[in-house]
């Protein structure tokens, strides 16, 4: 279904429609003004004609009125009407308002007072009888029922004798004006069609560089800079200067994008090299020992004492390799799907860590103040477990571990604090590097996994530590992210 929201239409369509609307509005405005002016001018001409006809009657009327020659007055009006088919009515009234002659004597008998048919006629009658100079009365708007009436007062020796009223119909004038309006409308429509077509061509020509600019900016937003084609410059106006500037910007952005990709690739290669070197170093050490043990056992297959001596070494070396591989897989597969667990699953880690502590004199203080109905990502379990194990490994007898969980604003915060030896400021920036460790039997992958998991949950991890004063890890994860990782 097409998008009917004008805000989402392309600029070329908006500009074309705007030009069409402007041309249409101007055309109709000009056409309306022309029709109105033509109607007004023809109306005035018809009024002047009504006055002339009334005046032609008024010239001969005084003598006939004085002699009471009604027949001559009637013949004058009859001849007047036969000479023009625009006349609706014509009459001669004396000073008292009595009919001296009328084109319709059946309805208006001579010698009787003129009787208007309605309020409009009554008002016009009053104005006509009060007129002492030529005047034109108009009635009706733009319709064929209107009229123009010329009124001429009759005087004899400066004595007011009456009035001549000749009323002309505007029906023919209306038909002529309607025909003119239709012609003007047809011309306006022609101009609108032509103007719209030209406006569409002009708008497309004008908008084409802007469309290219928009497509280029969308490509920037998507990160697709390699397929950029420079905009052709066809002028030195504002759009031409904009095209020049845009081409320069796009070229610079394309170069910047290429440099960023090269740097990113270099960083990936460096990181891969570090991980590869670390894996080779960490796996090669136990492998060398395992190979020596196996070689010795092969040379002395019947020496039971050697088997009892070397089997635990082989088992320990294999488990170390297994742990290294496991931590690498956890760190490299954090983008995969993850199950949701209740916050109470975190509390089960306390018993697991106590089992690892076994008989050592290490105390755990557990404070879980988070909402008991909160569902969290299973990755948080791995984060807490790694931090607790890291604390247990660095503590000696008499050590204390504090584990706190609480919600602050939109974040779930986890703090693991120990009173161990602390971390030197010189190596603090290397804590989360893979295979970096200060422990003799450590793999250097535990904190790296914690860092990767925290990043995947869009969280923040911070470390507070001083040598001899212990260490505190702060992990804050958005509650919404914790609910649905």
Residue 378 reports pLDDT greater than 80: no
Task: Give the pLDDT score at 2.
Answer: 46
- Whole-angstrom distance, CA of residue 145 vs CA of residue 386: 99
Over residues 11-31, the mean pLDDT reads 73
Task: Give the pLDDT score at 1.
Answer: 41
CATH number belonging to the domain at 336-483, selected among 3.10.129.10, 1.10.1270.20, 3.30.565.10, 3.90.1150.10: 3.30.565.10
Six-digit token pair at 485?
Answer: 């990782």
Over residues 446-474, the mean pLDDT reads 85
- Whole-angstrom distance, CA of residue 89 vs CA of residue 72: 17
Residue 25 reports pLDDT greater than 90: no
Query: Which residue did the predictor score with more confidence, 306 or 108?
Result: 108
Report pLDDT digits (tens) over 88-105.
Answer: 889 999 989 898 988 888
The count of other CB atoms within 10 Å of the CB of residue 377 is 21
Q: Is 52 helix (H, G, I), strand (E, B) or coil?
A: helix
pTM of the full structure: 0.42
Q: What is the mean pLDDT of the chain?
A: 77
Residue 312 reports pLDDT greater than 70: yes
- Picking from 195, 256, 259, 245, the residue whose alpha carbon sits closest to that of residue 30 is 195
- Whole-angstrom distance, CA of residue 439 vs CA of residue 421: 12
Task: Give the pLDDT score at 431.
Answer: 75
**Phi and psi dihedrals of 444, rounded to 5?**
75, 20
Domain ranges for the chain: 6-176, 225-332, 336-483
Six-digit token pair at 418?
Answer: 């120990």
Highest mean pLDDT: which of 162-171, 181-190, 222-231, 474-483? 162-171
Residue 5 reports pLDDT greater than 70: no
Task: Give the pLDDT score at 4.
Answer: 47
CA-to-CA separations, 278 to 67, 201, 413, in angstroms, rounded: 139, 66, 32
Among 166-170, 180-184, 225-229, 307-311, the least confident range:
225-229
Query: Which residue did the predictor score with more confidence, 429 or 7?
Result: 429
Residue 483 reports pLDDT greater than 60: no
- Whole-angstrom distance, CA of residue 257 vs CA of residue 251: 10
Task: Give the pLDDT score at 153.
Answer: 93
CATH number belonging to the domain at 6-176, selected among 3.30.450.20, 1.10.510.10, 3.30.70.600, 3.90.1150.10: 3.30.450.20
Report pLDDT digits (tens) over 423-445.
Answer: 887 777 777 776 666 665 555 66
Query: Which residue did the predictor score with more confidence, 327 or 392?
Result: 392
Task: Give the pLDDT score at 164.
Answer: 92
Among 264-278, 293-307, 388-402, the least confident range:
264-278
- Whole-angstrom distance, CA of residue 456 vs CA of residue 383: 11
Query: Which residue did the predictor score with more confidence, 49 or 4?
Result: 49
278: pLDDT confidence band, cut at 50, 70 and 90?
low
- Whole-angstrom distance, CA of residue 137 vs CA of residue 244: 69
């Amino acid at each position: 279904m097409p998008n009917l929201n004008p805000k989402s239409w392309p600029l070329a369509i908006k500009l074309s429609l705007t030009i069409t609307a402007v041309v249409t509005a101007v055309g109709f405005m000009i056409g309306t003004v022309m029709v109105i002016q033509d109607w007004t001018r023809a109306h005035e001409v018809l009024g002047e004609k009504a006055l002339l006809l009334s005046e032609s009657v008024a010239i001969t009327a005084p003598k006939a009125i004085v002699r009471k020659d009604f027949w001559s007055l009637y013949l004058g009006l009859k001849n007047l009407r036969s000479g023009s088919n625009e006349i609706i009515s014509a009459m001669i009234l004396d000073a008292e308002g009595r009919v001296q002659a009328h084109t319709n004597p059946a309805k208006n008998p001579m010698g009787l007072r003129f009787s208007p048919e309605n309020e409009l006629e009554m008002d016009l009658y009053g104005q006509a009888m009060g007129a002492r100079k030529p005047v034109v009365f108009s009635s009706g708007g733009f319709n064929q029922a209107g009229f123009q009436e010329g009124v001429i007062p009759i005087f004899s020796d400066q004595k007011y004798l009456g009035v001549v009223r000749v009323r002309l119909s505007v029906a023919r004038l209306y038909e002529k004006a309607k025909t003119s309006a239709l012609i003007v409308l047809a011309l306006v429509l022609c101009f609108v069609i032509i103007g719209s077509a030209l406006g569409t061509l002009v708008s497309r020509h004008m908008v084409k560089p802007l469309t290219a600019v928009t497509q280029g900016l969308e490509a920037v937003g998507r990160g697709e800079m390699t397929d950029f084609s420079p905009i052709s410059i066809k002028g030195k106006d504002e759009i031409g200067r904009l095209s020049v500037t845009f081409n320069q910007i796009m070229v610079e952005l394309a170069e910047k994008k290429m440099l960023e990709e090269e740097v990113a690739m270099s960083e990936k290669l460096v990181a891969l090299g570090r991980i590869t070197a670390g894996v080779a170093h960490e796996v090669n050490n136990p492998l060398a020992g395992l190979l020596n043990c196996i070689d010795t056992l092969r040379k002395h297959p019947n020496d039971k004492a050697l088997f009892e001596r070397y089997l635990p070494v082989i088992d320990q070396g294999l488990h170390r390799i297994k742990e290294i591989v496991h931590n690498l897989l956890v760190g490299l597969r954090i983008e995969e799907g993850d199950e949701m667990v209740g916050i109470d699953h975190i509390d089960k880690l306390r018993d697991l860590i106590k089992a690892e502590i076994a008989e050592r004199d290490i105390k755990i203080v557990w404070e879980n103040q988070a909402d008991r109905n909160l569902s969290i990502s299973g990755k948080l379990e791995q984060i807490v477990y790694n931090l607790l194990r890291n604390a247990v490994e660095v503590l000696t007898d008499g050590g204390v571990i504090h584990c706190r969980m609480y919600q602050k604003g939109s974040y779930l915060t986890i703090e693991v604090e120990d009173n161990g030896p602390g971390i030197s400021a010189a190596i603090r920036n290397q804590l989360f590097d893979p295979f970096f460790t200060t422990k003799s039997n450590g793999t250097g992958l535990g904190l790296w996994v914690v860092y990767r998991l925290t990043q995947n949950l869009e969280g923040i991890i911070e470390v507070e530590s001083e040598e001899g004063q212990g260490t505190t890890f702060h992990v804050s994860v958005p509650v919404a992210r914790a609910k649905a990782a």
